[in-house]
Amino acid sequence: MKKLFILIPAIILSTLCSGQSTQYVGHATLKNTVKSEILIDTLTGVNFILDTTHIYITAINATGDTIWRTDPWKDNKLSEYRVKRPVIVYFNFGIDKRNNNKDVIWITYNNTQFGFIDKNSGVFDFKGQD
């Protein structure tokens, strides 16, 4: 009888847990959170805006014109990895040291895919996944 009392809650819990849809967060993204959804390039006056869904990035110049808009994951046809639709969890200015210290926007997704975006063109350079 004791085995039955232990077995029934275990079956119920395993059923409940397997039905949940959770987002993967790897060790590289666990502590990373988007600190700002707008990055401002003080030299050019361009605002780089991450939308509220953390999917699209838009570059808007000082006069309010859209320079480019990108969904880096979809535009680059990255394959599904750990989650069905990853979202950006890290979004910040950085430097591409392999390309003459070019200013870029580094991004990391909640599925640990990462890379950078060229600030001028909006082109995403996928660097890998954890």
Q: What is the average pLDDT across 62-66?
A: 96
Residue 64 burial by CB count (10 A; 0-12/13-18/19+): exposed, middle or buried? exposed
Place of tokens 């926007």: 105
- C-alpha neighbours within 13 Å on the C-beta side of residue 24: 17
Place of tokens 């077995």: 7
pLDDT of 23 above 70:
no
| Lowest model confidence (mean pLDDT) among 9-13, 89-93, 107-111 | 9-13
pLDDT confidence bin for 34, thresholds 50/70/90:
low
Q: What is the pLDDT of residue 19?
A: 42
Cα–Cα dist 96/128, whole Å = 15
Q: Where are the domains of the chain?
A: 25-129
CB 32 within 8 A of CB 106: no
Q: What is the pLDDT of residue 15?
A: 42
Architecture of domain 25-129: Beta Barrel (2.40)
> Residue 25: CB partners within 8 Å, gap ≥ 6?
89, 110
Place of tokens 């599904």: 80
Instruction: Beginning with the edge strand found earlier in the chain, give each strand of the sheet holding 113-118 in spatial order.
Output: 88-96, 102-109, 113-118, 124-129
Q: What angle do CA 59, 60, 62 make, to 5 degrees?
A: 140
Residue 12 corresponds to which tokens in the numbers above?
Answer: 């119920």
More confidently predicted of 64 and 126: 64
